[in-house]
Amino acid sequence: MSMPRVMFVVALAGMVSAAAAAPAKRAGDFALLDHQGYFHQLSYYDDHKAVALLVQANGSKATARSIEAFKQAKEKYKGKIKFFMINPTGTETRSSVQAEVDKYGTDIPVLMDDTQLVSEALGVQKAGEVVLVRPGSTEVVYRGPVGKHFDRAVEQLLSDQPVAKATARVSGEKIKYAKTVKTHGTKVSYSKDIAPIIAENCARCHREGGIAPFAMNSHAMVQGFAPMIREVVLTKRMPPGQIDPYVGEFKETYTLTPEETQKLVHWIEAGAKKDGDVDPLAQLKWPETKWAFGEPDLIIKVPPQEIPATGVLDYIRVVVPIEIDRDRWVRASQYVPGDRTVLHHTLNDLIWPGERPAGFLAAGNPNKARITAYIPGAQPQMEPPNTGGLLKKGSQLALQLHYTTNGKATVDASEIGLWFYPDDQIPTERMSNQCACIFTRGWVPIPPYEPDHEMTSTITISKDAYIYSMLPHMHFRGKRMRFYADYPDGTTEELLNIAKYNYNWQLDYELKEPKFVPAGTKIRVVGAFDNSAQNKANPDPSRTVPWGQQSWDEMFFGSVTYKYVDQSEAQQLLSKEGG
């Protein structure tokens, strides 16, 4: 079961409203993916004096005329000004933009403004114009052509002088905002448009008793937080756990669609007004239980752990007997933390009676029940139909518990819920899992202040299989993780792009339909770490970072869950084991 999309709002200054094609003084912070799927946020580049954005449009003569001068300016002001192009059309594909970039002969990233909202905020009007923005204040200090006026503006900016000529005439194709005009002003209805977006994407966490800090249970609450909602949506921090919506097809991308984003932002800009006599958010009803699939058939109580207010804690290992009166087949599980503010993550190992522990990260027996562990943002785990694992009478669950202190002493009393198949239903199929992991052997220490330290790990799928899901795990310096399938015929396909990894939301991304991969397919996982001072979550950018279990060290896990087409091996093994 996929975790519902959420909008957990964090307070930051909101972006100011900007009408379509109207020149802006302050643009506000924003984030976009470029034409190769890499994440960029304006405020991240506040170690530069400014960010320069050349407006790119496919087939534009104005862009083509400007590109050489823009490339020269990039070299001239390297390390002082950050250079991008931005495509504001909202209609181009990444491949078509890549073809244009190839013609330009440049590696300058093109930011893809699929919603056109960032271009609106910047006041973009014509292809070929350059917008110069201070990444800290988000002030637009220059707009006009690249050339002498641009150079003079940059030199004045670098000398901490006012920009004397903030605008200059540009000859270029006019940018059309047809996509966003539909949602301007009063054209968006709270009851018909906005409330359904909030209900679907936000309210399941933003409710009374939810994990978010406040409830979006009325128009008044949403209106009160509207500026913050706008900011976190435009910087892609909410909904959390976002992945690239243009790579693969998943049950959840944890993103709003461009149309949903346009409606929500323009509604906020128009005053976040209410219409209708009934408030749909006030009518929402939520299950009273914390359990995703109703009351579990069995609840495993993890021994309570007393966590001090401060200090570094060693990993805690416990073994919990599982009290059942007969063998059962497990179809679902859920880990409910007692105090999620201190529980960092868990690992587990199911030990059948008479067995020795296999280890927390061992591949394991495919016939064993899969019991979900805990990671930030963890989702309940439901097996596909006719799929499950065996929990034998007398089994034990070994747990490794990792806690981090938060300044307040507490007790964590977690629970694990299990749901069984009926006794007369024995699932005949099993899931398998491999981790494209890097441990101490193979780890390349992350250099101090390195903003983009890439590592790669590969696993091989030995038999024909269907991939069901992929899950990342890194620590505070984790920047991105991308999964690729390198097929035996020499072709490659990208499966998943977590463009902005977030340590707080390590989700299991489940494909909408299982993905067939032939025997011999290599799953290549490419991850990057940001050890620079620009990474606001970085504990210490001056440190050379090793592999390690604590959060201030780093890890690299790219987990892949799949099912073999031929299930006979698992069935034969089960027969030998007397299952």
Closest CA to 468 of 428, 505, 513, 430: 513
Closest CA to 138 of 62, 234, 9: 234
Q: Looking at residue 6, what is its pLDDT?
A: 36
Which residue(s) pair with 554 in the sheet? 547
Burial of 399: CB neighbours in 10 Å, binned 0-12, 13-18, 19+: buried
**Residues 6+ positions from 231 with CB-CB distance below 8 Å:** 12, 13, 14, 15, 28, 29
| Rounded-to-integer distance, Cα 452 and Cα 65, Å | 32
Q: What are phi and psi of 311, to 5 degrees?
A: 110, 165
Report helix, strand or coil for 407.
coil
Report helix, strand or coil for 41.
strand
Q: What is the DSSP string of 441-478?
A: TT--PBPTT-S-EEEEEEEEE-S-EEEEEEEEE--TTE
pTM of the predicted structure, to 2 decimals: 0.91
| Rounded-to-integer distance, Cα 378 and Cα 2, Å | 10
* Beta strands at 492-498 and 39-41: parallel, antiparallel or unpaired: unpaired
Output the tens digit of pLDDT for each of the chain's 579 residues: 333 333 333 333 333 333 444 455 899 999 999 999 999 999 999 999 999 999 999 999 999 999 999 999 999 999 999 999 999 999 999 999 999 999 999 999 999 999 999 999 999 999 999 999 999 999 999 999 999 999 999 999 999 999 999 999 999 999 999 777 778 877 899 999 999 999 999 998 898 888 888 999 999 999 999 999 999 999 999 998 899 999 999 998 889 999 999 999 999 999 999 999 999 999 999 888 899 999 999 999 999 999 999 999 999 999 999 999 999 999 999 999 999 889 988 999 999 999 888 766 656 788 999 999 998 777 899 999 999 999 999 999 999 999 999 999 999 999 999 999 999 999 999 999 999 999 999 999 999 999 999 999 999 999 999 999 999 999 999 999 999 999 999 999 999 999 999 988 888 999 999 999 999 999 999 999 999 999 999 999 999 999 998 889 999 999 999 999 999 887 777 776 665
Contact criterion met (CB below 8 Å) for 579 and 390: yes
Q: What are phi and psi of 35, to 5 degrees?
A: -70, -5
Residue found under tokens 């001056």: 542
| Rounded-to-integer distance, Cα 304 and Cα 416, Å | 13
Closest CA to 464 of 520, 514, 518: 518
Where does 159-194 have alpha helices with state H?
178-181
Q: Looking at residue 473, what is its pLDDT?
A: 93
Q: Looking at residue 212, what is its pLDDT?
A: 85
Q: Looking at residue 460, what is its pLDDT?
A: 98
| Rounded-to-integer distance, Cα 252 and Cα 505, Å | 14
Q: What are phi and psi of 522, to 5 degrees?
A: -100, 130
